[in-house]
Chain A
Amino acid sequence: MKALSQKRRHPLAAIALLLMGLLLTGGLYAVATTVNEAKASTTSFSANDTEEGEKLFAANCATCHGMGAGGTQDGPSLVGVGAAAVDFQVGTGRMPMQMNGPQAYKKPAQFNDEQTHQLSAYVASLGPGPSIPEEHLLDAQGNAAEGGELFRVNCAMCHNAAAAGGALTRGKFAPALADVSEKHIYEAMVTGPQNMPVFSDANVTPEGKRDIITFLKQIEANGSPGGADLGALGPVSEGLFVWIAGLGVIIAFTIWLTSRTS
């Protein structure tokens, strides 16, 4: 205590105090952000993952996204997009992109799970961003009715009320959501891939996202109670069906009825 009181007049004391203050504020902010990000980094990445991911990135992604993922004219910067974005884009085969166009198409994944994990590790290391969601949010055991309401209010205008997909302007589109894994649905909501807006945790809570996934998985599992769903596209496919199949069969019968046997 004596030493401290003696040195408090030291010329460097003010600087030391300032440093301590900064450290404290920064530390508190860091803690606060981690709390806000909730279950930010649940998937742990090893240094090796990051290293391997960087190599993969340089070989496969840097052409468009630039060395160091800083972005070029052909592709955006990936600093801060988080592991979830990489896991979604690479995991669903959208990246690497097949061709330049209004939107990246879903296709068979070009990287295996391990490589996707490594790429995620690398991009996550560039700056903080949404991480891969925790298992308990993906169990599809939430409230389907609540999820349905959230889906109709937030998602149906692009993805269709039955999640059959829909058109956006100039060749862009919202894809159908059948056969999309729980993890990818969640990641899409938090990262807003392609033309999709981001649904942050403040907008739709993690529980709400879990409910939406529950709703989607339940209507997928329920199938179509009324028979073949004709693509769940609504009145257009129904109209097409009645004109072609319905009227077609009836015309066949009218021809049969009016044909003479001789």
Chain B
Amino acid sequence: MSAHTTANAPAFVAKTKGGRITDFVDQRVGGSGILREFGRKVFPDHWSFMFGEVALYSFVILLLSGTFLTFFFDPSMAETHYDGSYTPLKNVEMSVAYSSSLDISFDVRGGLFMRQVHHWAALLFVASVSVHMLRVFFTGAFRKPRELNWVVGGVLLILSMAAGFTGYSLPDDLLSGNGLRIIDGVIKSIPVIGTYTSFFLFGGEFPGTVIISRLYMLHILLVPALILLMIVIHLFMVVVHKHTQYPGPGRNDGNVVGYPLGPVYAAKAGGFFFIVFGVVALMAAFFTINPIWNYGPYDPSPVSAGTQPDWYIGWVDGALRLMPGVIGDFHFEYVIFGQVLTLNVLLPALVPAGIVFTVLFMYPWIERWITKDDREHHVLDRPRNAPTRTAIGMAGFTFYCVMWAAASSDLIATHFHVSLNDVTYWLRALFFIGPIIAFVVTKRVALALQRKDREIALHGRETGRIVRLPHGEFIEVHAPLDDYKRYKLVGFESPVPLPAVPNEHGIVTRKEKRRAALSRWFFEDRVAPASPAELEAAHGHHGQHEAVESAEAQKTLSH
């Protein structure tokens, strides 16, 4: 049957040879169908939407530079004597891993550049993942239908930290060895299974002779494979959900306003890859990163001043630094049934990270439960228009940053000529107070910005032009906004607190009461967007400020 139709249909024959080859491939691969589908995919244009791309490109750079490094790196912990061209380490006893890292740096053509490309790209990778997550959080892009993709993103953040840490430890220099020693200490502080886990991981007592090759396998095989898998899932869901967009005229939850992927957006994105690569290459060419030759081979006895992990592990290191050993006579170390429980390592190492990641993963569901909002959201919130969420985000960010700063407490002390102890005391206080201050200040700032938006929407921008009217009155001329700009200031949702409602048995459950209390806490402080009636009033009675202000006073429900 199909033979007949093909025989009857006028077969398409391309005119050129290139066309015929393309047609041949297309008939077998179906490329044009894929292109038709993906080429018309519309992406909204905004600079803050590009951090995910930066992360993706950094990952590609990592794969490329990492492959180069594997050609020359030897993860063996066998002992050797350095015989390369860096004289301050000549004949020093070291591991083959460290020796080969030094060879990459000094004796492989382009090796140091590639090492620096790899390391800078790694820092940029985790940084862009983090900024991307912050953008998604503060604009509310994690709401339905994107909750699961938010979780995939969170997993990617953890994986990127894991990739970074396993890579950081590979050169087997003093700095990375000190970092491994801290991890070993944290593992050993876990009750009951800690010491066994440590011995399992290091193949005996720290440092052993196997850890570098094990980390190497994780670093070049398992972790990147998992990252790649998660990226595929992440991008697949982006395609399924379509991209979110900022509020604007003509944009709603049913459409996406932007450019199609092909050709403009694809060209831009492709070009952007080379820009990111270029920036990383410039950093690698002109700025040293991880000068392993400074640190010397790993030896468990020396610890260098200024020993820090790379930035993304810094907050965990900072939490360890903040933890007091004893408070007065109260100590944190107990012996229970012959097992030592070292809370002054266990608490700071696991609790803050546990809090941050639990809240991070749960947040979409927490907000969904409080707001009872089951609608799909494709239009983003401007951060100021969701004051409580923005305040929660800033509180978490501050919590993170305090620990982050604590990881460089020694450098803060030396560079600002203050006492290391005072820095630690202040940061300990900020660890508890900082998030609260950040919450209150952010919420007030967001509400103030909303009031300012409302003011501008109603009265236009202040021009600074003072005009004297014939009867002697002075007025300041306000320039009215055009419709597009005004839409941005008024086109947002401002939910009101949802009171507790009885369930099907007519009972208001305790859980529902708690939800209602949280809803009140979330939404009681609100600035309503200017309504059409108010706008009408403001423009109708031009110059009659009293009418507008009284209407405003009625509509603005604050406190």
Q: Which of B63-105 contact A (CB under 8 A)?
A: 87-92, 105
Interchain CB contact under 8 A, B286 and A227: yes
B-chain residues with CB within 8 Å of residue A96 when the two chains form the complex = none
B residues less than 8 Å from A228 (CB atoms): 286-288
Which A residues are in CB contact (< 8 Å) with B309?
235
B73 to chain A, nearest CB (A): 17
B92 touching A145 by the CB < 8 A rule?
Answer: yes
Q: Does A31 lie at the interface of the complex (its beta carbon under 8 Å from any beta carbon of B)?
A: no
Q: Which of B117-135 contact A (CB under 8 A)?
A: 120, 123-124, 127-128, 131
Interface centre among A157, A215, A250, A253 (most CB of B within 10 A): A250
A195 at the interface (CB under 8 A from B): no
Q: Which of A58-66, A69-77, A238-246 contacts B (4 or more CB under 8 A)?
A: A238-246
Contacts of A139 in B (CB 8 A): none
Output the least CB separation between B187 and chain A (Å).
21
Closest residue of B by beta carbon distance from A158 = B305
B296 contacts A by Cβ under 8 Å = yes
**Measured between alpha carbons, how far is A157 from B123 in the docked complex, in Å?**
26
Query: Which residues from A are CB-within-8-Å of B307?
Result: 234
Given A246-B120, A249-B279, A250-B279, A171 contacting B308 (CB threshold 8 A): no
CB-CB contacts of B270-299 with A at 8 A, as 1s and 0s? 011001100110011111111101111001
A4 vs B280: C-alpha distance in the bound complex, in angstroms? 94
Q: Which residue of A lies closest to B280 (CB)?
A: A246
CB < 8 Å neighbour of A144 from B90, B286, B414, B418: B90
Give the chain A neighbours of B287 by CB distance below 8 A: 226-228, 230, 241
Contact of A225 among B46, B90, B105, B120 (CB under 8 A): B105
Q: Which of A230, A246, A251, A260 contacts B288 (CB 8 A)?
A: A230
A234, A240, A247, A249 pick with most chain B CB within 10 angstroms: A234
Least CB separation from A241: chain B residue: B287
Counting chain B CB atoms within 10 Å of each CB, which of A167, A228, A233 scores highest? A167
Instruction: Provide the bound-state CA to CA distance between A228 and B291, in Å.
Output: 11
Query: Is A247's CB under 8 angstroms from B128's CB?
Result: yes
Q: Which residues of B contact A166 (CB under 8 A)?
A: 304-306, 410, 414
Kindly identify which residue among A158, A235, A246 contacts B310, using a CB–CB cutoff of 8 Å. A235
Task: Give the chain A neighbours of B50 by CB distance below 8 A.
Answer: 254, 257-258
A218/B87 in contact, CB under 8 A? yes
Among A144, A148, A167, the residue within 8 A (CB) of B413 is A167
Query: Which of the residues B87, B279, B303 comes within 8 Å of A246, measured between beta carbons?
Result: B279
Judge whether A224 is part of the interface by a CB distance below 8 angstroms.
yes
Q: How many whole Å from A260's CB to the nearest CB in chain B?
A: 8
Q: Are A243 and B127 in contact (CB under 8 A)?
A: yes
Interface assignment of B112: CB less than 8 Å from any CB of chain A: yes
Contact indicator A171/B306 (Cβ below 8 Å): no
DSSP majority for the B interface? helix
Does residue A3 face the partner (Cβ distance < 8 Å to B)? no
Least Cβ distance of A23 to chain B in Å?
Answer: 48
Kindly count the residue-residue contacts between A and B in the assembled complex, taking CB atoms under 8 Å apart.
Answer: 198
Q: How far is the CA of A38 from the CA of B288 in the complex (A)?
A: 43
Contact indicator B304/A157 (Cβ below 8 Å): yes
A144 with B88, Cβ < 8 A, contacts A161-B174, A228-B286, A241-B287 known: yes
CB within 8 Å of B: which A134-158 residues: 144-145, 147-149, 152-153, 156-158
Known: A102-B419, A219-B294. A157 touches B92 (CB 8 A): no
Q: Contact check: which of B127, B291, B295, B314 meets A247 at CB < 8 Å? A: B127
Please tell me if the beta carbons of A167 and B88 are within 8 angstroms of each other in the complex: no
- Given contacts A148-B88, A246-B123, A257-B268, A226 and B306 within 8 Å (CB-CB): no
Does B417 belong to the interface (CB within 8 Å)? Answer: yes
Contact code string B436-480 (vs A, CB < 8 Å = 1, else 0): 000000000000000000000000000000000000000000000
B338 proximal to A (CB < 8 A): no
Whole-angstrom CA separation of A249 from B276 in the bound complex: 9
Q: Closest chain B residue to A242 by CB distance?
A: B123
Find out whether the CB atom of A243 lies under 8 angstroms from the CB atom of B311.
yes
CB distance from A60 to the nearest CB of B (A): 25
Complex contact A169–B105 (CB within 8 A): no
Q: B175 near A: Cβ within 8 Å?
A: yes
The answer, yes or no, to whether A170 is at the interface (CB within 8 Å) is yes
Q: B310 — which chain A residues lie within 8 A by C-beta?
A: 235, 238-239
Cβ-based interface call for B361 (8 A): no
Q: Is B189 in the interface zone, CB < 8 Å from A?
A: no
Cβ distance B129 to chain A, nearest Cβ, rounded Å: 12
Q: Indicate the member of A232, A235, A250 with the most B CB atoms within 10 Å.
A: A235
A257-B90 contact, Cβ under 8 Å, with A153-B302, A236-B308, A239-B314: no
- The reply to whether A238 and B305 form a contact with Cβ atoms under 8 Å apart is no
In the complex, A249→B286 CA distance in Å? 15
Residue picked from A148, A228, A232, A236, most chain B C-beta under 10 Å? A236
Interface string of B165-200 (1 = CB under 8 A from A): 000000000110000000000000000000000000
Question: For chain A, what secondary structure do more than half of its interface residues adopt (helix, strand, loop), or is it mixed?
Answer: helix
CB atoms of B47 and A160 under 8 A apart: no
Would you call B289 and A167 a contact (CB within 8 A)?
no
Interface residue from A167, A227, A255, A257 paired with B305 (Cβ < 8 Å): A167
Given A226-B288, A257-B47, A257-B272 in contact, is the A148-B306 Cβ separation under 8 Å? no
B544 within 8 Å of A (CB atoms)? no
Instruction: List residues of chain B with CB within 8 A of the CB of A245.
Output: 283
Asked whether A254 and B421 contact (CB < 8 A) given A148-B88, A241-B287, the answer is no
The answer to whether residues A169 and B120 also contact, given A161-B294, A232-B291 and a CB cut-off of 8 A, is no
On chain B, the residues within 8 Å of A249 by CB distance are: 279
How far does the alpha carbon of A253 sit from the alpha carbon of B275 in the complex, in Å?
A: 8
Q: How far, in angstroms, from A220 to B167 measured CA to CA in the complex?
A: 28
Q: Is A229 positioned at the interface, with any CB of B under 8 Å from its CB?
A: yes
Shortest Cβ distance from residue A229 to the other chain B in the assembled complex, whole angstroms: 5
Query: Which A residues are CB-close (under 8 A) to B289?
Result: 226, 238
Query: Does B116 reach chain A (CB closer than 8 Å)?
Result: yes
Is residue B358 contacting chain A, with contact meaning CB distance below 8 A?
Answer: no
Q: State A165–B275 Cα separation when bound (angstroms).
A: 36
Min CB–CB distance B551 → chain A (angstroms): 36
Instruction: Report Cα–Cα, A26/B117, bound state, in Å.
Output: 68
Interface centre among A224, A239, A249 (most CB of B within 10 A): A239
A positions within 8 Å CB-CB of B: 102, 144-145, 147-149, 152-153, 156-162, 164-171, 173-174, 215, 218-219, 222, 224-230, 232-236, 238-243, 245-247, 249-251, 253-255, 257-258, 260
Q: A234-B308, A235-B309 are in contact. List 12 more A-B contacts (CB 8 A).
A: A144-B90, A148-B88, A149-B92, A152-B174, A168-B420, A171-B419, A171-B420, A232-B291, A235-B314, A236-B407, A254-B50, A257-B47
Q: 30 A-B Cβ contacts within 8 A? A: A102-B419, A144-B90, A152-B299, A153-B302, A156-B174, A157-B305, A160-B304, A161-B174, A166-B306, A166-B410, A167-B413, A168-B420, A169-B419, A169-B421, A173-B414, A174-B305, A222-B88, A224-B291, A226-B105, A226-B112, A230-B287, A234-B307, A235-B290, A236-B314, A245-B283, A247-B131, A254-B50, A257-B268, A258-B47, A258-B49
